[in-house]
């Protein structure tokens, strides 16, 4: 019962982050499942099955708040579904000994990307309003979908920053469109896992627990996307993912680091993580002050 309650809370927290930031539900949830010893393919399958419900609820909530560009959803979602199906098939055919550290490496890379991306960079608004090109969204969706299924998460960490960096869409519409298109990705990945694995290793109660937490959080997250500073949230989540997956890798047979080495690495990660959050907060304050100054100048 404690495990199910914890999973529900993780699903709630992960969906609040995902719906507000456009990423990290899968990465956060899969990281926890790996940390408690779940088979990598089963962990990704569990998360993607739960995501069928959470992404549907999230998409409807974002649509209600006007955060969705349906053309972008179609252009990136369909290639994403193909990539996710292929990724699920690949992961399901890897041995657990190989898959666990490989998945942790993918998650670690995504965590580092989140940490660096949202700590050091803001949102480029110079091209805001220009149409998104299919030749950009198609390959992006294919790669993001493949990474999402093999890593247990990655649709948002790959897709959201790439579209944000283009500066062609408002951040809230980027997040809403990515969250909505993820329904297709979750559906395709789940189908791939079920065809390859059957129900082997998938705990239906865990799926339901993650789903319940996510469903509760989805409407609130769609509203919060207008109010939560993405830079701080990205730094917080990125640091947590880096720390957790570094721990998994250092304890794996690949590295099997001694206690002094592991504790030294943890201390460095904590220090960098704290510095990143402080920097993100300061940059957020500067951005807010600049926006207020620009607004006053425009009124004058």
Q: Which of 7-11, 45-49, 221-225 is predicted with the least confidence, judged by mean pLDDT?
A: 221-225
Taking the C-alpha atoms of residue 64 and residue 99, their distance in angstroms, rounded to an integer, is: 39
Average pLDDT over residues 18-27: 64
At 183-213, the pLDDT tens digits run: 999 899 888 888 877 766 667 777 787 777 7
Instruction: Map out the domains of the chain as residue ranges.
Output: 1-299
pLDDT averaged over every residue in the chain = 77
Nearest Cα neighbor of 233 from 224, 220, 245 is: 224
What six digits make up the tokens of 67? 């955060």
Strands of 45-102 (E only): list them: none
Cβ-contact 38, 197 below 8 angstroms: no
Q: What pLDDT was estimated at residue 167?
A: 63
How far, in Å, are 26, 119, 175 from residue 214 at the CA level? Answer: 11, 26, 16
pTM: 0.66
How far, in Å, are 19, 44, 80, 156 from residue 184 at the CA level? Answer: 16, 15, 7, 13
Q: What pLDDT was estimated at residue 85?
A: 93
Question: What burial class does residue 184 get, using C-beta atoms within 10 Å of its C-beta: 0-12 exposed, 13-18 middle, 19+ buried?
Answer: buried
Average pLDDT over residues 24-45: 72
Taking the C-alpha atoms of residue 240 and residue 13, their distance in angstroms, rounded to an integer, is: 13
pLDDT surpasses 70 at 134:
yes
Average pLDDT over residues 285-290: 82
Q: Give exposure, 32-47, as e/b (b: 16+ Cβ within 10 Å).
A: bbbeeebbbbbbbbbb
Taking the C-alpha atoms of residue 104 and residue 153, their distance in angstroms, rounded to an integer, is: 11
Q: Could you tell me what percent of the chain has a pLDDT over 90?
A: 11
Taking the C-alpha atoms of residue 23 and residue 147, their distance in angstroms, rounded to an integer, is: 13
Average pLDDT over residues 175-181: 86
> Residues near 175 by Cβ (< 8 Å), separated by ≥ 6?
19, 20, 21, 22, 62, 67, 160, 225
Confidence label for 268 from pLDDT (cuts 50, 70 and 90): very high
Confidence label for 121 from pLDDT (cuts 50, 70 and 90): confident
Confidence label for 242 from pLDDT (cuts 50, 70 and 90): confident
Average pLDDT over residues 149-169: 73
Q: Which of 43-52, 90-99, 180-189 is predicted with the least confidence, judged by mean pLDDT?
A: 90-99
């Amino acid at each position: 019962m404690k495990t199910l309650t914890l999973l529900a809370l993780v699903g709630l927290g992960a969906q609040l982050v995902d719906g507000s930031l456009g990423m990290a539900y899968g990465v956060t949830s899969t990281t926890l499942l790996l940390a408690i010893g779940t088979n990598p393919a089963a962990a990704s399958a569990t998360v993607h099955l739960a995501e069928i419900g959470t992404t549907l609820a999230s998409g409807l909530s974002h649509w209600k708040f006007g955060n969705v560009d349906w053309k972008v959803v179609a252009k990136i979602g369909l290639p994403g579904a193909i990539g996710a199906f292929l990724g699920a098939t690949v992961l399901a055919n890897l041995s657990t000994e190989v898959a666990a550290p490989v998945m942790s490496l993918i998650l670690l890379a995504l965590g580092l990307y989140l940490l660096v991306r949202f700590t050091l960079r803001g949102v480029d608004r110079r091209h805001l309003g220009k149409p998104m090109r299919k030749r950009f969204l198609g390959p992006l969706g294919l790669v993001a979908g493949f990474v999402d299924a093999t890593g247990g998460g990655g649709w948002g960490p790959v897709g959201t920053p790439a579209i944000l960096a283009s500066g062609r869409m408002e951040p809230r519409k980027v997040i809403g469109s990515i969250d909505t298109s993820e329904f297709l990705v979750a559906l395709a990945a789940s189908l791939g896992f079920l065809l390859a694995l059957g129900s082997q290793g998938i705990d239906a109660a865990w799926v339901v627990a993650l789903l319940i937490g996510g469903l509760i959080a989805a409407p609130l997250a769609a509203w919060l996307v207008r109010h939560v500073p993405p830079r701080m949230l990205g730094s917080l989540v990125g640091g947590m993912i880096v720390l957790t997956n570094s721990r998994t890798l250092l304890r794996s047979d690949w590295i099997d680091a001694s206690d002094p080495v592991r504790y030294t690495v943890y201390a460095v990660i904590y220090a960098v993580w704290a510095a990143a959050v402080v920097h993100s907060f300061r940059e957020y304050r500067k951005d807010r002050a600049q926006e207020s100054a620009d607004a006053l100048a425009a009124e004058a």
